[in-house]
Structure 1
Amino acid sequence: MIKLIIKKFVKNYNDVENKYVRESYGILSGILGILCNLFLFGLKLTIGLIMNSIAIISDAFNNLSDMGTSIVTILGVKMSNSLPDEEHPFGHGRIEYISSLIVSFIIMLVGFELLKSSVDKIRNPEEVIFNPILMLILLMSILVKIWMFSYNSYIGKTINSSINKATAADSLNDVIATSAVILSTVIQRYVNAPVDGFVGVLVSLIIIYTGFNISKDTVNILLGQSPSEETVEKVCSFIQKNEYIIGIHDLRIHDYGPGRSIGSVHVELLDSLELVHAHSIVDKIEKDIMSQTGIDIVIHVDPVGKVSKI
């Protein structure tokens, strides 16, 4: 279904390296997230108030926070495509990572607030009013989150979006959380204990853990983590397959946002090569790497008199 929606609303959807296509993907996923989460918030809040369940109400506000993250997703994607300027010559792609960080903070904040409410519910338990019809509706709401996990995973992989991958992980945790809420509400009927409050605590801890993991991964990128071994091997293979290259060292790759990697590397060429010839060699390698990997790399030539052992 998501593929049909993408074909309908994303122009040139196959050109995922194009920043405007990426923007269309991000806006589409954000709008879908807003609509789905707003629907789930209203549905669960109504059910939670009728049944007097803190666990269900907590789950509702979890969906409301997800709606907020969808809004942040749209803003992040739009801002990350802003043109480079004098103060930001490499563009604004890292705004997408900052957006992911904001998403993680919102998730953790909601988790802590729900944890506080759930603990209060344990200390001062109240009767949960069981309603089988409302429970069936709540059970069906899980299907919405499963679909949201599916489309965010697909878009995240398609355009390599940290925001969508984070949202997909959050949607999967929402499925687990809602399932636990439903189970606790059923159990509450048969035991004389504040199960509703304890499950509320469990749900809030899941939410906090999800936010922490998202923030940890995003901070690593913003701090300049090393490129993956796969990326290093791919770049090195493009360089080494050229017959004139004797050695490679000092490869550096910097991530300025999805699809915006800039790097530099030193290559060794025989000092007997003419300058124009050496320039044409590295120029071709730079263009090949850019076209095949999307990495804008600058190659520095080190002339050597003999084959390097490095």
Structure 2
Amino acid sequence: MREEEVRYQKLRFAAWIGIVANLGLAAMKAIVGMIANSKALIADAVHSASDVVSSVVVLIGVRAAKMPPDEDHPYGHGKAESVASIIVAVLLFIVGFEIAVSAFQSFFEPVEVPRTLAIYAVLISIFVKEGLFRYKHYLGKKFKSDALVTDAWHHRSDVLSSFAALLGIGAAILGGYLHIQWLVYGDAVASAVVAVLIGKMAWDLGNQAIHNTLDHVLHDEDTVEMREAAKSVDGVMNLDAFHAREHGHYVIIDIKIAVNPRMTVEDGHTIAKAVKERLMLEPNVHDVFVHVNPYNGKDS
């Protein structure tokens, strides 16, 4: 099985794991939240439900990125995953805003002390979501998938929100037991904290995804081996220009080589072909475009 196909299968499986797990968690937290009178847990359930949508977006993005180059997209569809990351970040921000509005309204409504059952639901959520984060983050980094890494951090945001909900629910239960009124609002405060955490994470992930979507070249220190590999090809007298740009999970290289000005066009083409073949052996290099210049005696 080709490396690209293996990558797609692994990322697709991870996305489906997220969809199934989040559906179960969202249903559990929503039901327990209503039974236990916990606004923080219901807010957390909405967050888990949004993770289902984000996993579906990731699944679509990974599938699109796998498509081969065509007439309209000669460089491939690698940026589809970065676009999916932006969509996930926007969804995350919307969820955070809705939770913030709900938390604010809670301060002006009668407060019911949540039941202890809510704590068990939150603990289960923390355990499952942390497992999903570690699994997806590992795969995302391994296969250079912006979409899966963003989705992984979406799971980590759910861990943070569940932890905040745990503290809020615990404070509210304690406040009801000790008859301390301000502690009873701990559940609503936890919802507000959850909203802030989600908003911050959405901003950070969206900012990174937009950066990855825009064309940017790798730094010189990241391309030392590539440039040395190109120079090592027989007939290459100098590198006039070298740009390696990330295109989603893979790299496309634009290079200008200098050769003996007295050689034939065919010989220059042969050297250019050798340079491309050598660079295509480098990790994550998807395509190489080589331009041949006559050597003018000046080294870069």
TM-score past 0.5 threshold: yes
Q: CA deviation at 1:276?
A: 3.5
Residue equivalent to 2:119: 135
Residue equivalent to 1:80: 65
Matched, 1:269 2:269: no
Which of residues 284, 287, 295 is equivalent to 2:277?
287
- Tell me, yes or no, if the aligned pair for 2:146 and 2:248 is still in contact at 8 Å: no
**Cα–Cα, structure 1 residues 111 and 134, in superposed 2: closer, same or farther, change >3 Å?**
closer
Residue equivalent to 1:250: 241
Structure-1 separation of matches of 2:163 and 2:138: 23
Instruction: Select between 293-302 and 163-172 the one with higher mean Cα deviation.
Output: 293-302
Question: Match for 1:209: what amino acid?
Answer: K
Structure-2 separation of matches of 1:165 and 1:180: 23
Matched, 1:216 2:216: no
Q: Deviations over 1:245-282 (max 9, x none)?
A: 332233223433323x3221112223244444333222
SS in 1 for 2:107: helix
Structure-1 separation of matches of 2:154 and 2:16: 17
Which of residues 190, 195, 205 is equivalent to 2:196?
205
Q: CA deviation at 1:37?
A: 0.4
Structure-1 separation of matches of 2:252 and 2:289: 8
Residue equivalent to 1:186: 170
Q: CA deviation at 1:305?
A: 4.5
- Tell me, yes or no, if the aligned pair for 2:226 and 2:282 is still in contact at 8 Å: no
Residue equivalent to 2:41: 56
Question: Match for 1:267: what amino acid?
Answer: I
Q: Which runs of 5+ in 1 are unaligned?
A: 1-11
Alignment of 1:120-131 (within 5 A): 120-131=105-116
Q: CA deviation at 1:288?
A: 1.1
Computed over aligned residues only, the root mean square deviation of the Cα atoms, in angstroms, reads 2.0
Structure-2 separation of matches of 1:171 and 1:97: 18
Question: Match for 2:181: what amino acid?
Answer: N
**Cα–Cα, structure 1 residues 286 and 78, in superposed 2: closer, same or farther, change >3 Å?**
same
Q: CA deviation at 1:128?
A: 2.1
Residue equivalent to 2:18: 33
- Tell me, yes or no, if the aligned pair for 2:97 and 2:195 is still in contact at 8 Å: yes
TM-score computed with the length of structure 2 as normaliser: 0.89
Counting matched residue pairs gives 292
Residue equivalent to 1:97: 82
- Tell me, yes or no, if the aligned pair for 2:234 and 2:271 is still in contact at 8 Å: no
Structure-2 separation of matches of 1:85 and 1:245: 31
Structure-1 separation of matches of 2:216 and 2:13: 29
Residue equivalent to 1:300: 291
SS in 2 for 1:216: helix
Residue equivalent to 1:238: 229
- Tell me, yes or no, if the aligned pair for 1:125 and 1:197 is still in contact at 8 Å: no
Structure-2 separation of matches of 1:51 and 1:120: 19
Matched, 1:196 2:187: yes
Instruction: Select between 52-61 and 242-251 the one with higher mean Cα deviation.
Output: 242-251
Structure-2 separation of matches of 1:29 and 1:165: 11
Question: Match for 2:244: what amino acid?
Answer: I
Structure-2 separation of matches of 1:75 and 1:205: 28
Residue equivalent to 1:71: 56
Q: CA deviation at 1:156?
A: 0.5
- Tell me, yes or no, if the aligned pair for 2:85 and 2:209 is still in contact at 8 Å: yes
Alignment of 1:11-30 (within 5 A): 12=1, 17-18=3-4, 20-30=5-15
Q: Which runs of 5+ in 2 are unaligned?
A: none
- Tell me, yes or no, if the aligned pair for 1:97 and 1:162 is still in contact at 8 Å: yes
Question: Match for 1:291: what amino acid?
Answer: L
- Tell me, yes or no, if the aligned pair for 1:44 and 1:56 is still in contact at 8 Å: yes
Structure-2 separation of matches of 1:99 and 1:66: 13
Instruction: Select between 237-246 and 89-98 the one with higher mean Cα deviation.
Output: 237-246
